[in-house]
Structure 1
């Protein structure tokens, strides 16, 4: 073994022991790098999290730039991270520099700057000896790790919960780790089974109590409370208004408040807020998507409220065209925005641009399967497209069933169950012995019922009273949830 390869091997073994982005099992294949890059750059521009928050974001940007093979750019971001940390913390900065120095060591190693890599390893060794604790038990490291998991990929949200929980246990009064823990719980807690004393709600309340200026957590609490009960509407509205008054220029606050008011029926107010947010963040795919959803809601409301004479039909078409405009912007800004792709494809279908819709659904399926994410969502929207635009009910049934089987308790799974139930009951009214309709009802029961009974044993003339009773309750639940 040559002397150089021996040095490399020695450095490599030390690098593997570090706590930084390179050792946190953040896989390039899981990431949409350009999307993450734009979001992190936006957070730096907005100064989110104060100067220390910006320092951590620069550290994450260093890792992203490295993955994009921009090694000099990566070092530049790490240098900004180090400078901000030292300026803000002075002599008390060592623990907060651990992750930044770890990234420095790794990138220099990959650039074959072995002397530089060794110098950062020595700095880290000195820090560890000073505090006599392993980096994995340092709250500053755990907090930065948690934020990285939250910002990089939905697949890492459960990991974020674990590391933030540990950070909070070690440093219970740190408002930043508490806020991260609250956001991680919010993102991992199922919306359909929310209760007023859920872990996410408790942690969000605690976070706001510790830091009344945390308007992002205030908004999440408002959204979460409304999911639990419509009776909490007044408290939710008050939280939203307080957040908006406290951060009237923050596009993150504005866009969520806009979403809230859209869901409550105040579509025009939501549009005004989102357009204001767009002035500060013109490249935000999320804001464009939310504006599109406002115009979709407006279109549906017009279809429900007005007799469709020529004038009102023009209003409907205008709303649809605005919806399409903002969805096209959203999908152009975010290459892997699967839900926006599906929504856009459905709108193309309504406008009878069927080939464009089919092409976009093909792209959405490929993207979802490649990322192993939201495949069931694409099945649901494609089923809607086949049912209402192509009038191919058998194909729609197949894709509703695929969605239901893949994710029965998601919102798309719930809606698929209702769509299938409506189709089956319509068929049974005409032909009570329709085997396909009864097979569909059996599938709904099997996916949604608490006790699993093989649907093959069920028919329209079955004398299995317990099965019939349970199926009836299951279908009733689908109707309520739908």
Structure 2
């Protein structure tokens, strides 16, 4: 094909709605981790043809970015097969994105006749005046799964899709999950859009037990345990062998119920999904809490080693798992593995940006590591301040403020203490402008100990 013939083909391709035109940048995700996660989800959700078809679409795009064009084409062909099996005669609107991806992939493979063939298929579908919410929904899922940086865009696409078809269960579920991931702390359940949308998601997806567990976790944040525990029991009763359900039940038990039961459930989930970074992380946290409880030195050491083992596995399976790195770093420090701790903290900081989930925990734990394992107060203060500045009303922000006040009351000069306390008041919105005020806060801090 000459360049003159290729130009109008490219112009038509640019107008398609698919992964190739949605500005999914390889720099915004770890492609290897993303590929592993998609393959893991595909293998766990074999019974869900619609969801698996969508996963094959995403797998194809990631494989294209990695240069594996033939494998990408195989994924797209499998996506078409699954879509036709599930939707039968009503599949055209569900194939718009997949056909677009196939057309683009053939273009990149210089298979122009095949590319034109799929463009023709899309023209036929377009002629049937397919409503656009199908594409909006697929775009929302693609954005959501590709990168945390795209959650805002995914949120907007789900919202627009639901404006066009409010009863669509998949979009209601997706919108609820995105809100769960992005919502900041609310004062009451009535203020929580995530809780409202989770209820809507369950209403339109009564068999979706994952949504019930996400709602249970949100309700438990407001101490609404009766309804939360009822949801947990119902979800687990309906899906006792689903690793997705088991892991959230395990998380709920760890936070609000029995730690030992949580460990048992998570071990069971791990037998079904041995390569789940999420489950290894949850087990690591359970053993970390066990280590902090009562017990002999030998027991504490054993639980610490178990925690380290699962956290190491989690970051091996998911190299960008920043929150797991934060927990692993602090445990390495306790285990006197100072070099390994320093390395894992530096890696976590280097791969993060200010919106990375877990970065606030990294600053808190790195500050504690510098203070208690390396006896370096300047670096401890620096990272406590970074943690507090990210968000002052979270548990990590509050812990950083407490640590800073303790340093101000015990370990630095009055001038330095005043500077630290003024910083805290500035970030949290309070006022502290005099030495007298500084002395009052220091005295209060000492009395709290």
TM-score by length of 1: 0.87
Q: 1: distance between equivalents of 2:101 and 2:365?
A: 42
Between the aligned partners of 1:336 and 1:187, the Cα distance in structure 2 is 17
In the other structure, the counterpart of 1:309 is none
**Contact 2:247–2:279, Cα closer than 8 Å, also in 1:** yes
The verdict on how the C-alpha distance between 1:197 and 1:373 changes in structure 2, with shifts beyond 3 A counting, is: closer
State the shift of 1:377 in Å.
Answer: 3.5
Match of 2:167 among 169, 173, 176: 173
1:268-307 equivalent positions in 2, closer than 5 A: 268-302=260-294, 306=295
Match of 1:250 in 2: 242
Q: Distance in 2 between matches of 1:300 and 1:15?
A: 58
- Structure 2 distance, partners of 1:206, 1:337, is 31
Alpha-carbon distance in 1 for matches of 2:62, 2:249 = 30
Is the CA contact 1:55–1:82 (under 8 Å) kept in the aligned structure 2?
yes
Structure 1 residue 47, shift from structure 2 partner:
2.1
Root mean square deviation of aligned Cα: 2.4
User: Which stretch has the larger CA shift, 365-374 or 32-41?
Assistant: 365-374
Match of 1:385 in 2: 369
Q: Tell me the equivalent position of 1:233.
A: 225
State the distance in 1 between where 2:267 and 2:91 align. Answer: 40
- What's the secondary structure of 1:419's corresponding residue? helix
Q: Distance in 2 between matches of 1:239 and 1:374?
A: 27
Deviation larger for 292-301 or 349-358: 349-358
Secondary structure at 2:198 match in 1: helix
Aligned equivalents of 1:370, 1:441: Cα separation in 2: 24
- Which range is displaced more, 394-403 or 161-170? 394-403
Deviation at 1:330, TM superposition (A): 0.9
Mean alpha-carbon deviation: is it higher for 324-333 or for 286-295? 324-333
Q: Are 1:441 and 2:421 matched, yes or no?
A: yes
Counterpart Cα distance in 2 of 1:468 and 1:255: 48
Aligned equivalent of 1:331: 315
CA distance in 2 between counterparts of 1:414 and 1:12 reads: 53
Among 157, 163, 170, the alignment partner of 1:163 is 157
How far did residue 381 of structure 1 move?
1.7
Aligned to 1:314: 298
- Aligned residue among 204, 217, 233 for 1:210: 204
User: Given the superposition, is the C-alpha separation of residues 395 and 148 from structure 1 closer, same or farther in structure 2, using an over 3 Å criterion?
Assistant: same
Distance 1:155 1:217 in 2: 22
Q: Is the 8 A contact 2:285 2:307 kept in 1?
A: yes
Q: CA deviation at 1:188?
A: 1.3
Deviation string, structure 1 residues 367-411 (Cα, Å, up to 9, x no partner): 225997654443222101112222222321121112223444454
1:113 and 2:97 matched: no
The equivalent of 2:97 in structure 1 is: 99
- More moved, 375-384 vs 269-278: 375-384
Question: Which ranges in structure 1 are unaligned for 5 or more consecutive residues?
Answer: 307-311
Where do residues 363-382 of structure 1 align in structure 2 (5 Å cutoff)? 363-368=347-352, 374-382=358-366
Answer whether contact 1:30 1:371 (CA < 8 A) is retained: no
Are 1:360 and 2:354 counterparts? no
Inter-partner Cα distance in structure 2 for 1:402 and 1:181: 31
Equivalence for 1:154: 148
Distance in 2 (CA, whole Å) between partners of 1:368 and 1:78 is: 32
Counterpart selection for 1:419 from 379, 400, 403: 403
Contact 1:150 / 1:160 at 8 angstroms: preserved in 2?
yes
Distance in 1 separating the partners of 2:354 and 2:253: 34
Is the 1:196–1:225 Cα contact (8 Å) retained in structure 2? Answer: no
Q: 1:180 to 1:372 in 2, by over 3 A?
A: closer
Unpaired stretches in structure 2, ≥5 consecutive residues: none
Q: Secondary structure, in 3 states, of the residue corresponding to 2:343?
A: helix
Return closer, same or farther for 1:371/1:211 CA change in 2, 3 Å cut-off. Answer: closer
1:435/1:459 contact within 8 Å kept: no
Is the 1:19–1:141 Cα contact (8 Å) retained in structure 2?
A: yes
Match among 192, 195, 198 for residue 198 of structure 1: 192
Q: Does 1:401 align with 2:385?
A: yes
